[in-house]
Chain A
Amino acid sequence: GQNIDQPTEMTATEGAIVQINCTYQTSGFNGLFWYQQHAGEAPTFLSYNVLDGLEEKGRFSSFLSRSKGYSYLLLKELQMKDSASYLCAVRDQGNYQLIWGAGTKLIIKP
């Protein structure tokens, strides 16, 4: 079956670094996305990985290992505005549908 796992909730301190993991088991793989969603708002795109390795974009980086079915989102220099849910989604092979994890709620404390 298709399955994406993320921790339900994480807590971190302002200014610190946090890593949010995502593991997936899907019938096919055509890329992995990370989105940020503030409470009651729309998800917004953060990153896309289709090849193994690390993609860096400012304070946010995303890593993918296709052989392990594993990705992580790394957030550096945490700010209070980073308090949000972070959603991992995998694009299935051969179509444009995304399979979504339940999201990780990140709480930033001063």
Chain B
Amino acid sequence: DGGITQSPKYLFRKEGQNVTLSCEQNLNHDAMYWYRQDPGQGLRLIYYSQIVNDFQKGDIAEGYSVSREKKESFPLTVTSAQKNPTAFYLCASSRRDSSSYEQYFGPGTRLTVT
């Protein structure tokens, strides 16, 4: 079955620690995205990548970093510089060659930093 996996589902960290969230897809999609979801707000784009070895900042990239060394993988690192990292993080992917193609989402990682 094709899809997107994110792990772990729940993650707890102490303030001041960096943490990396994994995202893997086997849909052969070129484009991948990271979103943050907070209660009462729409999804906010952190980073996106249209092709391997290339990525762009979204609306709220400060305190986050990504890499795209493989087509299938797009890990997100939440650094200690992110002031309010506790949130639900969603990874998505899509085809790149048409605007009508929807984004497919992974199950999400709920990060709690104390």
B102 x A103 contact (CB < 8 A): no
Provide the main secondary structure of the chain B interface: loop
Residue of B nearest to A41 (CB): B107
B108 x A42 contact (CB < 8 A): yes
Residue of A nearest to B88 (CB): A40
Q: Report the Cα distance A108→B80, complex, angstroms.
A: 41
Binds B, one of A13-21, A62-70, A74-82, A94-102: A94-102
B90 x A42 contact (CB < 8 A): yes
Q: Does A11 interact with chain B (Cβ within 8 Å)?
A: no
Known A-B contacts A42-B107, A97-B58; the reply to A91 vs B42 at CB < 8 A is no
Question: Please, which residues of chain A bring their CB within 8 A of the CB of B50?
Answer: 96
Q: Does B17 interact with chain A (Cβ within 8 Å)?
A: no
Question: Please, which residues of chain B bring their CB within 8 A of the CB of A41?
Answer: 107-108
Residue of A nearest to B58 (CB): A97
Binds A, one of B61-69, B71-79, B93-101: B93-101
Question: Please, which residues of chain B bring their CB within 8 A of the CB of A89?
Answer: 42-43
Q: Does A86 interact with chain B (Cβ within 8 Å)?
A: no
Q: Report the Cα distance A4→B103, complex, angstroms.
A: 18
Question: Please, which residues of chain A bring their CB within 8 A of the CB of B106?
Answer: 42
A97 x B45 contact (CB < 8 A): yes
- Chain A 29-41, CB within 8 Å of chain B: the 1/0 string? 0110100000011
Question: Please, which residues of chain A bring their CB within 8 A of the CB of B100?
Answer: 31, 48, 50
Residue of B nearest to A43 (CB): B105
Known A-B contacts A33-B102, A44-B105, A96-B31; the reply to A103 vs B96 at CB < 8 A is no
Residue of A nearest to B98 (CB): A96
Known A-B contacts A31-B100, A96-B99, A102-B42; the reply to A43 vs B90 at CB < 8 A is yes
